[in-house]
């Protein structure tokens, strides 16, 4: 048996060697004879290939039968060579450039002259393009309709050829073998994500309307481990549609000034570098452009302009300068093609954007993303009935998600998938069945989201298992919730917590019923929830995306010993619509019991009186409108992806005396507007304004206790140097401004521009007050403001002047952290009021 096995082993080795094809050689420039690195060499008709090294050498091996190799390199003519399968051969190839011949170029002088706009023919030409850009925009037509096919692919790049053989990755070997080394010179791509969409688009000029009908949508699905919709929304946000005729182009969460913006000649340098003739014998001018300051959020590249009455863009290539302050992005290029239509105008027919991502700028491995969009079947100035434009734009129906393969082959047209791309959907579906993948995702979910899944239920959040505070002391908490694997209709969540200092139990229990048979963690939500809770709370603490029992937020500055025990009984109905209009109806019975050094007391008939607790019953209605909102749905919180569109909120609450023991009748009205303003290379500003008014005679715990922050984390929505329970109002208005310069200043300082830091500045102002009827100082029978042992007040109403604070900050530290120096400008005579403070924030951005 041993000899038999040895025989088969030797025989199979000889056979394999006899069938092995080995192609090697050197690729050089046909004119200079210099070796060319990163040239793509592949067997024709396959995705088996390689690239040349720094000396131009390559080696290509296969056991399959191929008869040709293809050698391709950007800017050079492609070469196809016949080979003999099953042999070792050497092919040294010379490549020749494929550039077009220059015409009509007059070289006046070799001496470098100072660039200026005046009497510059390139600037005169770009001003003509700017002058005619409104005429060349597709929105200039009364009616337009077209079909759009788009494909987005993300791939790992240049992974080790042996990575699939390592023990940890061996279960995924089939995934690592699906590589493409021919599509992009110098890149060995392993596609892992793909999204395809086919839409019919209708545009109307008056009234201005755009209706997008999604005919089909197909994308990779990672299952319950990842929010696919949120990830898709974020990727599409990064790879937004590029309108060359717009003043600003939004890419990678930043705004870039277009090279044909109204103010482009102020920020760009333009050069006429060539004149050419296209396939239809139309004369074009090649106009090259570069930023005047290479650190600003600007493009560099070329546009080809028609020399006729249109002055239209026929082709555009936009890329980014390596010096700009853009995280994770090594390179980015946008190519757009325009074709002349029957009206003599040019419309966009193809837009392709590629970006190379990496931890470092010079590394080879990383992530490569490409979004290709094709526009076809244009129809101009054909009126449609008003019903064509009715309904929700961009809605993806279940029918569109379930299109079969025949539909996609037909819809792609000439945009066929590569061999590697065609296997992505199946490969990602397959890895979800691998136990090792499930274990990896479980660990990632526990670390990143704080939950450990056990199928029908999960436990967490882990960061709340242990915390401490002055009232409860050492606190332990344990809880969990059901998942859609148990039911898509019914959801249950609970936790129990115990404080070893106050020796009291806290708890939460909720039951939720989904009315649309969809998970409540997906948009659009439509559910009803009943809950009961007993928990501690700091009056005036409203933390973003974290709970007060988060361990890291147990550390706070100053005195922090005034708490409430809150007992809640709630019923909430939440309804969201595809238009991103939503409303919430709520019922809440609420008992507040003071804890720690906080007491509720008043004066009755001249005698001090202690109030053990207060009880209220509230009915509430909240409406929210966030047009075009996109977000990432986490395990606990929904994080909105910032955009230029505003978010509007309006809420009304009615307290009903006598209902379930309620002691007060009152009304509360609140409104809020938030919006991000993009300022091109100057960065962006986050703007928030809100106001509220309480009607009725109520004690201060039922008024607005303004959001304060005594943690060391910077909170955009709170006042970072205000103490908890410091200010109370029954009417107020506030404004918050937070501006990021995106490195506009630091990028011009030699020692700082290399570390890609970003500048922040913020300002917050709060106006408010208490009417006489609710002022404890005028009405002793109302619950009095807290005081210290010496009788000095700790809680105040705002006077005629607003509370203000501001900060200057440095962000993008190690690409994740922001540090702010915060200054409080007034009310410094209050107890324990700090004038300055250092606050930090974790922030991931491009």
Residue 336 near residue 242 (C-beta atoms within 8 A):
yes
Determine if residue 298 is left, alpha or beta; phi over 0 gives left, psi from -120 to 50 gives alpha, anything else beta: beta
Give the residue, 253 or 497, on which the prediction is more confident: 497
Length of the chain: 846
pLDDT above 70 (res 653): yes
pLDDT above 90 (res 662): yes
State percent of the chain over pLDDT 70. 92
pLDDT above 50 (res 12): no
The pLDDT confidence band at residue 19, using thresholds 50, 70 and 90, is: low
Q: Which residues pair with 669 in a beta bridge?
A: 652, 693
**What 3-state DSSP class applies to 237?**
helix
User: How many CA atoms lie within 13 Å of 297's alpha carbon, on the beta-carbon side?
Assistant: 28
pLDDT above 50 (res 557): yes
- CA triple 818-328-451, angle to 5 deg: 65
Per-residue three-class SS string for 719-768: ECCCCCCCEEECEEEEEEEEEECCCCCHHHCHHHHCCCCEEEEEEEEEEE
Specify the pLDDT at position 353.
Answer: 93
Specify the pLDDT at position 505.
Answer: 97
Q: What's the pLDDT tens digit per position in 599-612? A: 999 999 889 999 99
pLDDT above 50 (res 101): no
Q: What's the pLDDT tens digit per position in 562-620? A: 999 999 999 999 999 988 999 999 999 999 999 999 999 999 988 999 999 999 999 99
Mean pLDDT, the chain, rounded, equals 87
pLDDT above 50 (res 110): no
pLDDT above 50 (res 18): no
Q: What's the pLDDT tens digit per position in 50-63? A: 777 767 888 888 87
pLDDT above 80 (res 541): no
For residues 343-360, average pLDDT = 89
555 exposed, middle or buried (CB, 10 Å; 0-12, 13-18, 19+)?
exposed
Q: What's the pLDDT tens digit per position in 517-529? A: 888 888 889 999 9
Residue 647: count other Cβ atoms within 10 Å of its Cβ: 18
Specify the pLDDT at position 75.
Answer: 63
The terminus-to-terminus CA distance of the chain in angstroms comes to 62
pLDDT above 60 (res 102): no
pLDDT above 70 (res 4): no
Specify the pLDDT at position 545.
Answer: 39
Specify the pLDDT at position 172.
Answer: 83
pLDDT above 50 (res 104): no
pTM surpassing 0.85? no
Specify the pLDDT at position 176.
Answer: 85
pLDDT above 50 (res 497): yes
Using CA atoms, how far apart are residues 17 and 70, in angstroms rounded to an integer?
23
Specify the pLDDT at position 751.
Answer: 80
For residues 414-425, average pLDDT = 87
The pLDDT confidence band at residue 209, using thresholds 50, 70 and 90, is: very high
The pLDDT confidence band at residue 439, using thresholds 50, 70 and 90, is: confident
Q: What's the pLDDT tens digit per position in 504-514? A: 999 999 999 99
Using CA atoms, how far apart are residues 728 and 172, in angstroms rounded to an integer?
59
Specify the pLDDT at position 553.
Answer: 63
């Amino acid at each position: 048996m041993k000899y038999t096995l040895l025989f088969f082993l030797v025989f199979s080795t000889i056979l394999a060697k006899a069938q092995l094809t080995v192609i090697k050689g050197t690729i050089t420039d046909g004119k200079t004879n210099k070796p060319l690195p990163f040239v793509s060499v592949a067997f024709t008709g396959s995705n088996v290939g390689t690239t040349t090294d720094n000396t131009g050498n390559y080696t290509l091996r296969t056991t399959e039968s191929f008869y040709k190799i293809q050698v391709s390199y950007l800017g050079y003519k492609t070469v196809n060579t016949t080979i003999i399968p099953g042999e070792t051969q050497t092919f040294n190839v010379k490549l020749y450039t494929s550039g077009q011949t220059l015409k009509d170029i007059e070289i006046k002088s070799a001496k470098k002259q100072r660039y200026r706009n005046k009497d510059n023919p390139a600037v005169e030409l770009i001003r003509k393009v700017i002058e005619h850009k409104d005429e060349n925009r597709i929105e200039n037509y009364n009616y337009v309709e077209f079909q759009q096919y788009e494909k987005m692919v993300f791939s790992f790049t240049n992974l080790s050829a042996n990575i699939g053989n390592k023990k940890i990755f061996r279960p995924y070997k089939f995934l690592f073998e699906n590589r493409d080394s021919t599509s992009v010179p110098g890149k060995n791509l392993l596609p892992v994500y793909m999204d395809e969409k086919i839409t019919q688009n209708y545009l109307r000029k008056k009234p201005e309307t755009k209706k997008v009908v999604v005919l089909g949508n197909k994308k990779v699905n990672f299952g319950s481990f990842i929010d696919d919709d949120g990830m898709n929304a974020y990727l599409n946000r990064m790879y937004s549609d590029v309108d060359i005729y717009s003043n600003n182009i939004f890419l990678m969460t930043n705004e870039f000034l277009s090279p044909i913006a109204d103010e482009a000649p102020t920020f760009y340098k333009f050069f006429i570098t060539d004149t050419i003739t296209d396939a239809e014998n139309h004369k074009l001018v090649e106009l090259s452009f570069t930023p005047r300051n290479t650190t600003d959020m600007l493009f560099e590249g070329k546009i080809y302009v028609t020399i006729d009455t249109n002055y239209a863009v026929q082709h555009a290539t936009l890329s980014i300068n390596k010096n700009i302050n853009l995280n994770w992005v090594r390179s980015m290029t946008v190519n757009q093609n325009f074709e002349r239509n029957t009206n003599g105008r040019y419309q966009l027919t193809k837009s392709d954007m590629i970006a190379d991502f990496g931890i470092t700028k010079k590394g080879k491995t990383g992530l490569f993303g490409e979004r290709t969009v094709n526009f076809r079947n244009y129809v101009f100035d054909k009126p449609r009935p008003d019903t064509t434009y009715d309904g929700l734009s961009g809605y993806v129906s279940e029918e569109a998600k379930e299109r079969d393969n025949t539909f996609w082959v037909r819809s792609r047209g000439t945009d066929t998938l590569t061999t590697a791309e065609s296997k992505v959907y199946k490969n990602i579906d397959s890895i979800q069945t691998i136990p090792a993948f499930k274990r990896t995702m479980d660990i990632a979910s526990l670390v990143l989201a704080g939950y450990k899944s056990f199928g029908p239920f999960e436990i967490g959040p882990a960061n709340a298992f242990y915390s401490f505070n002055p009232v409860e002391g050492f606190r332990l908490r344990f809880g969990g919730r059901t998942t859609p694997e148990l039911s898509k209709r019914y959801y249950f969540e609970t936790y129990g917590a115990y404080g070893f200092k106050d020796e009291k139990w806290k708890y939460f229990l909720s039951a939720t019923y989904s009315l649309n048979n969809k998970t409540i963690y997906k948009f659009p939500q439509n559910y009803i929830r009943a809950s009961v809770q007993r928990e501690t709370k700091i009056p005036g603490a409203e933390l973003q995306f974290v709970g007060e029992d988060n361990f890291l937020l147990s550390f706070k500055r100053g005195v922090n010993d005034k708490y409430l025990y809150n007992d809640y009984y709630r019923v909430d109905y939440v309804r969201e619509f595809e238009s991103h209009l939503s409303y919430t109806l709520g019922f809440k019975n609420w008992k507040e019991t003071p804890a720690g050094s906080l007491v509720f007391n008043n004066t009755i008939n001249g005698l001090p009186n202690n109030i053990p607790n207060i009880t209220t019953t509230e009915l509430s209605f909240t409406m929210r409108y966030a047009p075009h909102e996109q977000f990432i749905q986490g395990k606990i919180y929904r994080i909105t992806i910032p955009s230029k569109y505003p978010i509007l909120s309006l809420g009304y609450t009615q307290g009903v005396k006598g209902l379930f023991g309620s002691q007060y009748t009152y009304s509360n009205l609140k409104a809020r507007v938030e919006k991000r303003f993009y300022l091109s290379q100057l960065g962006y500003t986050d703007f928030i304004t809100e106001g509220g008014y309480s009607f009725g005679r109520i004690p201060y715990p039922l008024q607005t206790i303004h959001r304060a922050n005594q943690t060391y984390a910077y909170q955009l929505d709170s006042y970072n140097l205000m103490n908890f329970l410091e200010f109370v109002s029954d009417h107020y208005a506030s404004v918050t401004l937070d501006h990021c310069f995106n490195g506009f200043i630091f990028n011009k300082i030699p020692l700082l521009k290399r570390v890609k830091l970003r500048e922040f500045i913020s300002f917050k102002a709060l106006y408010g007050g208490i009417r006489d009827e609710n002022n404890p100082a005028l009405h002793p029978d109302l619950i009095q403001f807290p005081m210290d042992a010496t009788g000095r007040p700790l809680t105040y109403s705002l006077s005629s002047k607003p509370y203000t604070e501001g900060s200057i900050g440095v962000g993008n530290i190690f690409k994740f952290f922001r540090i702010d120096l915060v200054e409080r400008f007034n009310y410094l005579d209050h107890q324990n009021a700090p004038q300055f403070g250092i606050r930090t924030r974790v922030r991931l951005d491009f």
